[in-house]
Amino acid sequence: MNDSSSLRTGFPLTFGLDTFGDVHSDETGTLNSHAQTVRNIVEQGVLADSVGIDFFGIGEHHTYDYPLSAGDLVLSAIAARTRNIHLGSAVTVLSSDDPVRVFQRYSTLNALSSGRAEVILGRGSSIDSFPLFGYDLSDYEVLFEEKSELFAELLKGSPITWTGTTRAALKDQDVVPHLEAEPFPTWIGVGGSPQSVVRAARHGYNLILAIIGGSPSRFQPFSNLYLEALEHFERPAQPIGVHSMGHVAETDEQAQEEFWPRYLEVIKHVSKTRGFAIPTPESFRHEIGPHGAIYVGSPETVARKIAANLRVLHASRFQLKFGMTGLPHTAVMKNIELYGTKVIPLVREILGSES
């Protein structure tokens, strides 16, 4: 039924930027401090709002390279200085957090921003938060299942009654602050686990496909699985989003020159911790081409690729993970500006004229 590439109707196209709190460098090439990194993210969020970007997301990380462990605080600082942009996690590692606490923090952000909060929940297969908070990585499946179930209850509003094995039971518990209107949009971020896709549909969460390598079209079966599962659980239609990394500059050449050396550094590090071979310039060229997962280039190049993949994946939301570690702050700000003023209007134009 959904084999072809078509834009799903019924959901507005929305475009976001995601950061993991990557440490950038200043004009002299020196890496910024953690404190400066945190302050710069507020500036990035404010700029994103001013150039018309729909969503700004912060991914929870707990490492030296990504010092963004308390993203919701940063989001509230952005909320105080912006009017339109939606603000959310990308992702919250729910497995090693307390769903009640996550609800409290994001319901507070929702109040502060007058209804602009969103949450993306992730199971979290990256190791950092589990030992930090005393969880066993081999429990991630039960932790995420129970906690995503409880979070769905919390979104329905108080009083909450819930029992499970991973946190204290709740009986007719009032959890505050109450929502003013509709629950904030909540998504589950999925990297390739079909169980997580079905879970998202079962609990009525929106779906974000995190595509960090390889051909985006290989995720089409996951979109189909989600749509089929929504029907199966008799849920209303819900939107699908895509999260991928990239970098936009004035020209393809400039974007590649800025991105590649930093990407190589980061990926060398990741390869080492994951036991992977290091990618080559050829594999990078493939990743930034039409069949790869990375969006690097001029506004035209990036817009075309976004439009094509939104269609293939039946998605209405795209979130660009911008600002690779080590890029100069100025290049990062330029990327945000080009994404808002050029890329997004171009994608809308391409998809608008074809739908």
Partner 1 sequence: MTSPTSTTTLPRIGILGAGHVGPAIGRVAIEAGYPVSIAGSGDPAKIALITQILVPGAKADWPAQVAAEADIVILAIPLHKFRTFDPSLVAGKVVVDLMNYWAPIDGTQQLFEDPRYGSSEIIQQHLSGARVVKSFNHAGYHELEADRRPAGSPDRLALGVAGDDREAVELVAALVENIGYDAVLLDSLREGRILEPGGPVFGASLNKEQFAQVLTAKAAA
If one asks whether residue 138 binds partner 1 (CB under 8 A), the answer comes out as yes
If one asks whether residue 204 binds partner 1 (CB under 8 A), the answer comes out as no
Span from 7-15, 17-25, 213-221, 306-314 in contact with partner 1 (CB under 8 A) = 213-221
If one asks whether residue 198 binds partner 1 (CB under 8 A), the answer comes out as yes
Span from 84-92, 124-132, 333-341, 344-352 in contact with partner 1 (CB under 8 A) = 124-132
Residue 276 CB, nearest approach to partner 1 (Å): 4
Residue 53 CB, nearest approach to partner 1 (Å): 28
Closest residue to ligand NAP, based on beta-carbon distance: 193
What is the spatial distance between Cα 130 and Cα 128, in angstroms, rounded to a whole number?
6
> Which positions ≥6 away from 272 have C-beta within 8 Å?
none
Do residues 46 and 17 make contact, with C-beta atoms less than 8 angstroms apart?
Answer: no
Size of the site for ligand NAP (CB under 6 A): 2
Is the Cβ of residue 273 or residue 353 nearer to partner 1 in the bound state? 273
**Per the structure block, which two tokens stand in for 139?**
């429990």
Is the Cβ of residue 39 or residue 218 nearer to ligand NAP in the bound state? 218
If one asks whether residue 215 binds ligand NAP (CB under 6 A), the answer comes out as no
If one asks whether residue 205 binds partner 1 (CB under 8 A), the answer comes out as no
Query: What is the x/- site pattern for partner 1, positions 147-186, by CB under 8 A?
Result: ----------------------------------------
Beta bridge partners, 117, equal 87
Return phi, psi of residue 16, to 5°.
-125, 170
Is the Cβ of residue 204 or residue 213 nearer to partner 1 in the bound state? 213
If one asks whether residue 195 binds ligand NAP (CB under 6 A), the answer comes out as yes
Residue 233 CB, nearest approach to partner 1 (Å): 10
Name the binder of 5 from ligand NAP, partner 1, none, CB < 5-8 A by kind: none
Q: Which residues of 266-298 are buried (b: 16+ CB within 10 A; e: fewer)?
A: bbeeeeeeeeeeebeeeebebbbeeebbbbbbb
Is the Cβ of residue 188 or residue 338 nearer to ligand NAP in the bound state? 188
Residue 292 CB, nearest approach to ligand NAP (Å): 17
**Per the structure block, which two tokens stand in for 207?**
């779906």
Would the CA dihedral through 140, 142, 147, 149 be positive or negative? Answer: positive
If one asks whether residue 271 binds ligand NAP (CB under 6 A), the answer comes out as no
Alpha helix stretches (DSSP H) within the chain: 34-50, 71-80, 99-112, 129-132, 140-156, 194-203, 220-232, 252-274, 281-288, 299-312, 329-338, 344-354
Name the binder of 198 from ligand NAP, partner 1, none, CB < 5-8 A by kind: partner 1
Name which position in 4, 28, 273, 353 contacts partner 1 (CB under 8 A). Answer: 273
Give, for 62, the enclosing helix (H) or strand (E). Answer: none
For 284-303, the DSSP string reads HHHHHSTTSS-EEE-HHHHH
What is the spatial distance between Cα 87 and Cα 144, in angstroms, rounded to a whole number?
23
What is the spatial distance between Cα 118 and Cα 187, in angstroms, rounded to a whole number?
8
Residue 7 CB, nearest approach to ligand NAP (Å): 30
If one asks whether residue 193 binds ligand NAP (CB under 6 A), the answer comes out as yes
Residue 26 CA: distances (Å) to CA of 20, 33, 111, 124: 18, 10, 35, 31
Site residues for ligand NAP per CB under 6 A: 193, 195
Residues that bind partner 1 (CB under 8 A): 125, 127, 130, 136-138, 192-195, 198, 213-215, 218, 221-222, 224-225, 228-229, 232, 271, 273-277, 283, 291
